[in-house]
Amino acid sequence: MTLLDRILGPRVSREEMQEHAGRYRLPTALFGGSALLLVLSIFLPYWVLTLKAPQFPDGLTIQAFVNRLEGDVVELEGLNHYVGLGSFDDGAVFERSIAIGAIIVLAGLLAAALLFHSRWVVLFTMPAILFPVGFVADLQWWLWRYGHNLDSSAPFAKAVGEFTPPIFGPAEIAQFDTLALPGPGFLLALLAAVMTGVGLWFHRKAYKPLVDELAGAE
């Protein structure tokens, strides 16, 4: 057996595939479905923030996609100026510049994982599992950074003071009530992570007996 064969893992015979087709197709379907969900998530907002104040009774909403912001961005930028918050344009510049490409790579890794019937499959699936955690951690970091680097010369900077808004849920910042919720894009990415984890479990269940059998034959 060559090194490549060891990395890719045992191949499934035609007879075995016909007899237990569902066993081997399930992880394929889960990995493939996860890749599709990740690609679809690019087109949907990952984070939604709604802000209400006496001067904005209808509220202001901002939708954060992986590479851009949409919604009442101009109005919120005006509020940021008075409070002392930095411009949205200065936040997560690097992350936004690579986001779409990175997600496509994650989907490609999941597609490549279909070729592996060994433990090496973990290297190709783990990034998709960890991606939602990384997104939340990075977003929380930027929220903290914005709230703890106020421009002291801004009119209401001292009145507001340093703060760390929660990444999800309600909060009060001075006279503003905010509500942050996960967007549909993030929920798709989270579902993709769960499906990938389940796919790994079924992958091990399907292929580990073949790996053990092959090792015993050697």
Q: What are phi and psi of 86, to 5 degrees?
A: -70, 165
pLDDT of 182 > 90? The answer is yes
Cβ neighbours of residue 15 closer than 8 Å, sequence gap 6 or more: none
Measured between alpha carbons, how far is 6 from 99 in angstroms, rounded to an integer? 33
Listed range (36-40, 52-56, 101-105) with the worst mean pLDDT: 52-56
Kindly report, residue by residue over 19-28, the tens digit of the pLDDT: 888 889 999 9
pLDDT at position 88, please? 84
CA dihedral 33, 34, 39, 40 (to 10 degrees): 70
Kindly report, residue by residue over 160-176, the tens digit of the pLDDT: 777 777 899 998 876 77
For the entire predicted model, the pTM comes to 0.90
Cβ neighbours of residue 87 closer than 8 Å, sequence gap 6 or more: 77, 80
Kindly report, residue by residue over 21-51, the tens digit of the pLDDT: 888 999 999 999 999 999 999 999 999 999 8
Averaged pLDDT for residues 68-74: 93
Measured between alpha carbons, how far is 169 from 43 in angstroms, rounded to an integer? 23
pLDDT at position 131, please? 98
Please give the distance of CA 94 from its chain centroid, rounded to a whole number. Answer: 16
Q: What are phi and psi of 46, to 5 degrees?
A: -95, -20
Of residues 144 and 5, the one with the higher pLDDT is 144
CA dihedral 125, 217, 209, 191 (to 10 degrees): 10
Q: At 4, is the pLDDT very low, low, confident or very high (cuts 50, 70, 90)?
A: confident
Measured between alpha carbons, how far is 209 from 24 in angstroms, rounded to an integer? 12
Measured between alpha carbons, how far is 46 from 39 in angstroms, rounded to an integer? 13
Measured between alpha carbons, how far is 200 from 88 in angstroms, rounded to an integer? 38
Six-digit token pair at 207? 């292929």
